[in-house]
Amino acid sequence: QTLFSSLSELIDCPIKVYFTIDTSETIALQESPPGSLVESIKEFTKIFTEKLADEEYRGQIQITWSIGGLHFSQTQKVFSHFTTRENFIRSLSRIRYLGKGTYIDCALRNMTQQVTQHYYSGPKAALFSVVITDGHVTGSPCMGIKMMADRARDQGIHIFSVAASRSIDELGMRDIASSPTEVYRDNYIVMEVVGGKPRLSTESIDQIIKVMKYQAYLQCYKPTCLAVPGIPGRKGSSGPKGAKGDRGKTGQKGEKGRQGDPGIEGPIGRPGLKVVSADVTQIHFGNFQGKMGRIGVPGCKGDLGDKVRWIFFIQKYFYIMFIVPVFDAKLNKIITIGYMGDMHSFEKGLACFELMQLFNPQQGTAGHPGDPGPRGDPGSLGPKGDKGRTGFGYPGPRGPSGSTGERGNKGPRGSRGECGAKGEPGDNGPEGEPSLSCVCAGWSGTHRRSWAHCIQSVYCEKHCGALDIVFVIDSSESVGLMNFTLEKNFVINTINRMGSMASDPASPTGTRVGVVQFSHEGTFEAIRLDDPTITSISAFKMAVKNLQWIAGGTFTPSALRFAYDNLIKGSKRSRAKISVVVVTDGRFDPRDDDNQLRYLCNDPDVTVNAIGVGDMFDKRHDSETLVSIACNNKSRITEMKQYTDLVAEDFIEKMETVLCPDPVIKCPDLPCKTELDVAPCVGRPVDLVILLDGSERLGMENFNQVRNFVESVTHKLAMAKGKNDRNWARLALIQFGKEEENQVAFPLTHDRDAIASGLASLTYLDSSSAVGPAIIYTINNLVGKGSTRKTRRGAEVSFVFVTDGVTNGTILDEAVSAMHREQIVSTVIATGSDVDQEVLTKLAMDNQEAIFKVQKFSDVLQTRMFNRFIRWVC
Ligand SMILES: *[C@@H]1O[C@H](CO)[C@@H](O)[C@H](O)[C@H]1NC(C)=O
Ligand SMILES: *[C@@H]1O[C@H](CO)[C@@H](O)[C@H](O)[C@H]1NC(C)=O
Ligand SMILES: *[C@@H]1O[C@H](CO)[C@@H](O)[C@H](O)[C@H]1NC(C)=O
Ligand SMILES: *[C@@H]1O[C@H](CO)[C@@H](O)[C@H](O)[C@H]1NC(C)=O
């Protein structure tokens, strides 16, 4: 009892708690209405704070709380310095979210500064920060979360990492938390969903407070070592005669215990960052260097030492395991005592167990019995007490960071650059012989399909007329870096299809392009329509690629106004069409002025197309916003689920038609000009055979569309001019039914009359079908071989199947092999929704691109689909 009596006074234990709250855009706009999740966080913090009552803890420490806080996005705003809970709650209620991007590392830096800046003369406080965030960052300008969390830790701050909701980046959350993460992260959450309903998680609050108190206790309550006096000598026995001897003198105090062993080595230092070159980030793990541990606490003063050689302990959260090897001099061996329990009972227990066991007091010898005469001598000194027990050290602080790594290796070679721009035309050469063939670099005879394409791309140019296109793309935090890159690629891919750019931004014709990327007010960045340095597609692409993700708030309405006032208004060309393409996730910061969403609608020369993409938390975008942006014309709205759909070939193609509906293809004056025509399938012979599935599955309605289809094809393809024309297209049509039931409507011909009369006499078989035998029949009879060859020399023979693939599969594989042998090119128009994909794939000779799927056959005739079909066939 006496041993602990001096501990009964309460030790002052102040605790400082600092809330660090993320109010960036991803948090603020996560729930609707905007800002509602921030309000929930405020409520959570309020409940939290209300539970922080001053109290006596474990009968040993007196806890007093002070509370402060900041909220942050890209900047930080201190809303309360350390104060009482009442003051804190008042300041808390005044928080309005910041919006914009998230720099957690800067917030941690500022938090550390706020927590440690005030000189404080009382007992050392236990320091905590509760960081509430989603762990998503848009940048790390303050050296990164890990580095800043470490710094806070070095200043003695323990950081709890609390998720605002379930939408989090768990890795980011863990980087924030102090170690061990099981204690400081522990899935703490503000809003959890229970039974489909959101509610504040008071369990998280209670658990955090529990940990805080305990940690504070460990910090404030240090067991005091006491000196234990040696046992006094025995009283001397009385002498026969002499006076009673004096009592023996109290034994000498034992020596001071020896200094404790150094603490265990600190954790390894943080690896150095390798210097990076050429875009390739490599982390080099520097040599770890732990620092020496702190010198141990001095051992107990007193009399019990000498036998206890050393104490070593391992601390594991809450439970502490002690292994105490003790050298017993009397037994002349080491005895080991293990102990497990919490810190509190250990400290008490340690003081007792030791020591009772090993303490081996010797008494002073008895005083001489006194004769009646002289007084007895005083008893001799009691023996020296044992040496105090050795103190024990705590783990030392973390060692310094490893040294910076070596410079990284050179990055891998970049991919081959794009082709350079066309060179200046050379001087006129001497006039040569007129030639009938055009040279097309890269064209090889085995790929006949590429010939027409090559001729067009090398010699011809597409022109969209006087056209200004302005892209307005969302560069806010909620879009994310990857999606922002997709937006840029969308701009580039679309422009790739717009043909040649205006050679001079001031010229009255030609296409000009501008881009506005936007986030919050004041961050808009533009590539202007009349930028004099942008005269080629590659210059424009480079400018787009150089746009950096802004990662702030979403101020869509202001961005539209900016686009109009800065790009369009001042640089209008007479007779030029202006198309604006706005890409956004539909939501914007409600602090922006939504009247300006329709800012572009007041100018009749401007057409606005709005593209809405599902946002980062996968909620549906706000369609109303899109409707306003598109000036209430719903057919100018495209909604898509994900950003990758922006760069899908189909969508780019659609944009091409929307932005440049009537292109003019201009081909230069070439010696072979007569062969060059804007119509497809030019300059080469193409023999096209249509194989129509006449089974009942086709249906009368589809059958009746066959005439329209063939007419459209003859109209669109440039047909050969006569029997002996070695170029252009010819057409044949065969309807196939059961084996042997093949009906040739017309064989390969250039003659429109023959085609018309063939179609007129065609009747629907309406039976079942077998495509394999039909192919063989067609090859033998319509294509022919050797001397009976019906196709023209060098002609590309192209089969167009109209079928759903549900057909007798007999000899299909042989038939497809025969098509390969004859170098026949295949196209499949698949009708209906119940198709046999395997058969279709075989017919398309394994080329999925060659399969055109439509509900009803007439769908092929829709402009977009039909153009794609013709482009493919040619
Ligand atoms: C922390 O934020 C406050 C504004 O709330 C600012 O005055 C202070 O300079 C910031 N400190 C650091 C280290 O960024
Ligand atoms: C709406 O947009 C479509 C497609 O651009 C266009 O054809 C139509 O005329 C527009 N409607 C109105 C009322 O402007
Ligand atoms: C990109 O957008 C998709 C939705 O299209 C979303 O699921 C994803 O989280 C976004 N990526 C980032 C980094 O924000
Ligand atoms: C497919 O055609 C072959 C040959 O004409 C015939 O023997 C077979 O019964 C047909 N299969 C079906 C399922 O009709």
Model pLDDT for residues 227-239, shown as the tens digit of each residue: 334 344 444 444 4
Does residue 23 lie within any of the structural domains? Answer: yes
Report which secondary-structure segment, H or E, holds 87. Answer: helix 85-92
For residue 154, name the pLDDT band (cuts at 50, 70, 90): confident
Q: For position 469, what pLDDT does the model report?
A: 94
With 50 as the cut, is the pLDDT of residue 854 above it? Answer: yes
Least confident of 5-14, 68-77, 553-562: 5-14
Q: Is residue 535 a contact partner of residue 503, using CB atoms and an 8 Å limit?
A: yes
What is the bridge-based pairing of β-strands 461-463 and 664-666? antiparallel
- Hey, what are 337's tokens? 């005592």
Amino acid (1-letter code) at residue 316: K
What is the phi/psi pair of residue 756, to 5°?
-60, -45
329, 356, 383 — which closes off a domain? 356
Ligand nearest to the CA of 577: 2
Ligand 1 binding pocket includes 112 (Cβ within 6 Å): no
The closest of 707, 699, 737, 719 to 831, measured between CA atoms, is 699
The closest of 588, 526, 584 to 554, measured between CA atoms, is 588
Does residue 765 lie within any of the structural domains? Answer: yes
With 0-12 / 13-18 / 19 or more C-beta atoms within 10 angstroms meaning exposed / middle / buried, residue 700 is exposed
The closest of 97, 3, 124, 121 to 41, measured between CA atoms, is 97
Ligand 1 binding pocket includes 579 (Cβ within 6 Å): no
Q: For ligand 4, atom 1, name the residue with the nearest CA.
A: 808
Give yes or no: residues 654 and 702 share one domain: no
Query: 271 vs 661, which has greater pLDDT?
Result: 661
Give yes or no: residues 573 and 638 share one domain: yes
Residue that the structure tokens 């969308």 belong to: 490
Tens of pLDDT, residue by residue over 746-772, are 999 999 999 999 999 999 999 899 999
The span from the CA of 72 to the CA of 133, in Å, is: 10
Q: Is residue 673 a contact partner of residue 459, using CB atoms and an 8 Å limit?
A: no
What is the phi/psi pair of residue 593, to 5°?
-90, 105
Does residue 402 lie within any of the structural domains? Answer: no
Ligand 4 mean position, distance from CA 768 (Å): 10
Q: Put residue 442 in one of left, alpha, beta given phi > 0 → left and psi -120 to 50 → alpha.
A: left
Ligand 1 mean position, distance from CA 136 (Å): 21
356, 389, 412 — which closes off a domain? 356
The span from the CA of 152 to the CA of 219, in Å, is: 17
CA 599 to chain centre: 33
Ligand 3 mean position, distance from CA 585 (Å): 10
The span from the CA of 825 to the CA of 355, in Å, is: 97
Q: For ligand 4, atom 3, name the residue with the nearest CA.
A: 810
Instruction: Decide: helix, strand or coil at residue 789.
Output: coil
Ligand 3 mean position, distance from CA 518 (Å): 18
Ligand 2 mean position, distance from CA 607 (Å): 9
Give yes or no: residues 216 and 296 share one domain: no
Q: For position 622, what pLDDT does the model report?
A: 65
CATH code where residue 591 lies: 3.40.50.410
Ligand 4 binding pocket includes 741 (Cβ within 6 Å): no
Tens of pLDDT, residue by residue over 636-662, are 999 888 899 998 888 998 898 899 888
Q: For ligand 4, atom 13, name the residue with the nearest CA.
A: 808
Query: 125 vs 349, which has greater pLDDT?
Result: 125
Ligand nearest to the CA of 71: 1
Query: 180-184: long-range contacts at Cβ-Cβ below 8 A with a sequence spacing of 24 or more?
Result: 180/317, 182/317, 183/211, 183/317, 184/158, 184/159, 184/160, 184/211
Q: For ligand 1, atom 9, name the residue with the nearest CA.
A: 110
The span from the CA of 21 to the CA of 70, in Å, is: 6
Q: For position 363, what pLDDT does the model report?
A: 33
Give yes or no: residues 658 and 751 share one domain: no
Give yes or no: residues 481 and 548 share one domain: yes
Q: For position 827, what pLDDT does the model report?
A: 93
Ligand 4 mean position, distance from CA 758 (Å): 29
* Nearest atom in ligand 3 to 613's CA: 5
Q: For position 871, what pLDDT does the model report?
A: 80
Ligand 1 mean position, distance from CA 76 (Å): 6
Does residue 600 lie within any of the structural domains? Answer: yes
The span from the CA of 540 to the CA of 529, in Å, is: 10
* Nearest atom in ligand 1 to 75's CA: 2
- Hey, what are 763's tokens? 């009747």
* Nearest atom in ligand 2 to 658's CA: 5
Report which secondary-structure segment, H or E, holds 664. Answer: strand 664-666
Number of domains in the chain: 4
Give yes or no: residues 609 and 701 share one domain: no
* Nearest atom in ligand 4 to 739's CA: 5
> For the chain, first and last CA: distance in Å?
102
Ligand 4 binding pocket includes 806 (Cβ within 6 Å): no
* Nearest atom in ligand 1 to 77's CA: 5
* Nearest atom in ligand 1 to 70's CA: 5
Q: Is residue 88 a contact partner of residue 68, using CB atoms and an 8 Å limit?
A: yes
Kindly list the protein residues whose Cβ atom lies closer than 6 A to any atom of ligand 2.
633, 635-636
Tens of pLDDT, residue by residue over 326-369, are 444 555 555 444 444 444 444 444 433 333 333 333 333 333 33
Residue that the structure tokens 């293990």 belong to: 338
Query: 708 vs 298, which has greater pLDDT?
Result: 708
Q: For position 112, what pLDDT does the model report?
A: 95
- Hey, what are 173's tokens? 């959350």
Q: For position 616, what pLDDT does the model report?
A: 43
Q: For position 321, what pLDDT does the model report?
A: 40
Ligand 1 binding pocket includes 110 (Cβ within 6 Å): yes
Q: Is residue 732 a contact partner of residue 747, using CB atoms and an 8 Å limit?
A: yes
- Hey, what are 343's tokens? 């810190």
Ligand 1 binding pocket includes 116 (Cβ within 6 Å): no
Q: For ligand 2, atom 7, name the residue with the nearest CA.
A: 635
With 80 as the cut, is the pLDDT of residue 613 above it? Answer: yes
Ligand 3 mean position, distance from CA 474 (Å): 13
Which of 607, 636, 864 best tests ligand 2's pocket when mutated (most atoms within 8 Å of CB)? 636
Give yes or no: residues 210 and 338 share one domain: no
Q: What is the dihedral of CA 328, 333, 336, 337, to 10 degrees?
A: -30
Which of 80, 113, 155 best tests ligand 1's pocket when mutated (most atoms within 8 Å of CB)? 113
Q: For position 796, what pLDDT does the model report?
A: 85
The CA-atom distances, in angstroms, between 735 and each of 413, 762, 863 are: 55, 8, 25
* Nearest atom in ligand 3 to 480's CA: 14
Ligand nearest to the CA of 661: 2
Ligand 4 binding pocket includes 770 (Cβ within 6 Å): yes
Q: For position 529, what pLDDT does the model report?
A: 87
With 60 as the cut, is the pLDDT of residue 79 above it? Answer: yes
Query: 228 vs 542, which has greater pLDDT?
Result: 542
Query: 166 vs 408, which has greater pLDDT?
Result: 166
Q: For position 286, what pLDDT does the model report?
A: 31
For residue 188, name the pLDDT band (cuts at 50, 70, 90): very high
With 70 as the cut, is the pLDDT of residue 399 above it? Answer: no
Tell whether pTM > 0.75: no
Least confident of 1-5, 522-526, 612-616: 1-5
For residue 685, name the pLDDT band (cuts at 50, 70, 90): confident
Q: For position 427, what pLDDT does the model report?
A: 42
Q: For position 249, what pLDDT does the model report?
A: 53
Give yes or no: residues 757 and 658 share one domain: no
Least confident of 5-9, 545-549, 696-700, 802-806: 5-9
Give yes or no: residues 696 and 628 share one domain: no
Ligand 3 mean position, distance from CA 31 (Å): 16
**In percent, how much of the chain has pLDDT > 70?**
68
Q: For position 581, what pLDDT does the model report?
A: 97
DSSP code at position 569: G
Ligand 3 mean position, distance from CA 641 (Å): 10
Least confident of 60-74, 317-331, 478-492, 703-717: 317-331
Ligand nearest to the CA of 645: 3
Does residue 425 lie within any of the structural domains? Answer: no
356, 391, 409 — which closes off a domain? 356
Ligand 4 mean position, distance from CA 819 (Å): 22
The span from the CA of 804 to the CA of 41, in Å, is: 58
Give yes or no: residues 649 and 763 share one domain: no
With 50 as the cut, is the pLDDT of residue 205 above it? Answer: yes
Q: Is residue 230 a contact partner of residue 251, using CB atoms and an 8 Å limit?
A: yes
Ligand 3 mean position, distance from CA 616 (Å): 4
Tens of pLDDT, residue by residue over 280-331, are 222 233 333 333 333 333 333 333 333 333 333 333 333 334 444 444 455 5
With 60 as the cut, is the pLDDT of residue 499 above it? Answer: yes
Ligand 1 binding pocket includes 244 (Cβ within 6 Å): no
What is the phi/psi pair of residue 326, to 5°?
-130, 130
**In percent, how much of the chain has pLDDT > 90?**
38
Ligand nearest to the CA of 631: 2
Least confident of 78-92, 430-444, 466-480, 524-538: 430-444
The span from the CA of 301 to the CA of 225, in Å, is: 7
Ligand 1 binding pocket includes 77 (Cβ within 6 Å): yes
Give yes or no: residues 725 and 852 share one domain: yes
Does residue 515 lie within any of the structural domains? Answer: yes
Q: For ligand 3, atom 9, name the residue with the nearest CA.
A: 616
Does residue 590 lie within any of the structural domains? Answer: yes
Does residue 366 lie within any of the structural domains? Answer: no
Domain that holds residue 773: 686-873
With 0-12 / 13-18 / 19 or more C-beta atoms within 10 angstroms meaning exposed / middle / buried, residue 453 is middle
Q: Is residue 771 a contact partner of residue 661, using CB atoms and an 8 Å limit?
A: no
Q: For position 523, what pLDDT does the model report?
A: 86
DSSP code at position 810: T
The closest of 346, 257, 264 to 312, measured between CA atoms, is 264
Ligand nearest to the CA of 809: 4
Query: 240 vs 820, which has greater pLDDT?
Result: 820
Ligand 1 binding pocket includes 142 (Cβ within 6 Å): no
Tens of pLDDT, residue by residue over 105-121, are 999 999 999 998 865 66
Ligand 1 binding pocket includes 109 (Cβ within 6 Å): yes
Q: For position 661, what pLDDT does the model report?
A: 85
Ligand 4 binding pocket includes 536 (Cβ within 6 Å): no
Give yes or no: residues 629 and 578 share one domain: yes
The closest of 804, 721, 794, 735 to 766, measured between CA atoms, is 735
Q: For ligand 3, atom 2, name the residue with the nearest CA.
A: 616
Report which secondary-structure segment, H or E, holds 92. Answer: helix 85-92
With 90 as the cut, is the pLDDT of residue 73 above it? Answer: yes
For residue 692, name the pLDDT band (cuts at 50, 70, 90): very high
Q: For ligand 3, atom 6, name the residue with the nearest CA.
A: 616
Residues 6+ apart with CB under 8 A from 700: 764, 766
Q: For position 668, what pLDDT does the model report?
A: 60
Query: 290 vs 727, which has greater pLDDT?
Result: 727
With 60 as the cut, is the pLDDT of residue 432 above it? Answer: no
Q: Is residue 838 a contact partner of residue 803, using CB atoms and an 8 Å limit?
A: no
The span from the CA of 133 to the CA of 102, in Å, is: 9
For residue 247, name the pLDDT band (cuts at 50, 70, 90): low
Query: 135 vs 726, which has greater pLDDT?
Result: 135
